[in-house]
Amino acid sequence: MGLTDKLHFFHNILPKAIGLMAIPFFIQVLASCNVSTCTGDSTYHLYNLCDISLTHIDNSGEKPVASETADISNYILRINTDLTLAPCATPSTSAGIIPKAQAMSPVCPEEVYTLFKSVEKITVKTLTDINEDYPADSDVSDLFAGKEENSMQSLDHYVAMFREKEHIDYESLASPFELYLAQTLEPGIYRFEVSIILENERALTAISKPVTLQ
């Protein structure tokens, strides 16, 4: 290699090569600054929402009871969810040559649960005539509401719950959630259909038994 070639190598090629070699280093630095939020390892699980079923609840007594007869002002439509877990890999928080900024970070949860297909929508339909505004086969989602800490929440609240990227409390996630009748209906026999629409447009649908509201 002549003198001219050597000068060309040191002035043009070598800096570029060093720059390319440094890219992984800087990527790791960025990752250590932005990704880490806790210390320790978490076991990650995917879970699928596989099926739903419905239960009528009368909440007029000392404790809620399943019943096919309920007080109108204390009626709850309970949605039972069937979840299936599939374990995933456990990522390590200590890999890499750059230590992550964890000195003041909280400890990572032992278990983290992520929904495989997110929930896009929850709807309630009446299968019986309620009134002129709500004939049979009409959407009555606005007649129901969720409840959290003594405040009523729209059905979108439950959609947001399932859309949460990560959950650490599987027990509450797998427990039934309840829809409270937010408007007074006339006494009568009613039947409802609940659908949960997933992101792949698959619908989980359940039809209730008839319930007598009085």
Considering the domain boundaries, does residue 10 fall inside one? no
Q: 104 in a domain, yes or no?
A: yes
**Out of 1-5, 29-33, 88-92, 201-205, which region has the weakest mean confidence (pLDDT)?**
29-33
- The more confidently predicted of residues 31 and 78 is 78
pLDDT value at residue 35? 41
State yes or no: pLDDT of 37 exceeds 60.
no
- Is 28 contained in some domain? no
* pTM for the full predicted model: 0.65
**How many folded domains does the chain comprise?**
1
Residue 186 has a pLDDT of: 94
In a domain, 33, yes or no: no
pLDDT of residue 138: 96
Whether 29 is in a domain gets the answer no
User: Residue 132: inside a domain, yes or no?
Assistant: yes
pLDDT greater at residue 98 or residue 208: 208
For residue 194, pLDDT beyond 90: yes
Average pLDDT score over residue span 142-167: 75
Does 3 fall in a domain? no
Domain residues for 164?
A: 43-213
Q: Is the pLDDT confidence value at 59 over 60?
A: yes
Domain annotation covers residue 106: yes
3-class secondary structure for the chain?
CCHHHHHHHHHHHHHHHHHHHHHHHHHHHHHHHHCCCCECCCEEEEEEEEEEEEEEEECCCCCCEECCEECHHHEEEEEEEEEEEEECCCCCCCCCCCCCCCCCCCECCCEEEEECCCEEEEEEEECCCCCCCCCCCCECHHHEEEEECCEEECHHHHHHHHHCCCECCHHHHHCCEEEEECCCCCCEEECEEEEEEECCCCEEEEECCCEEEC
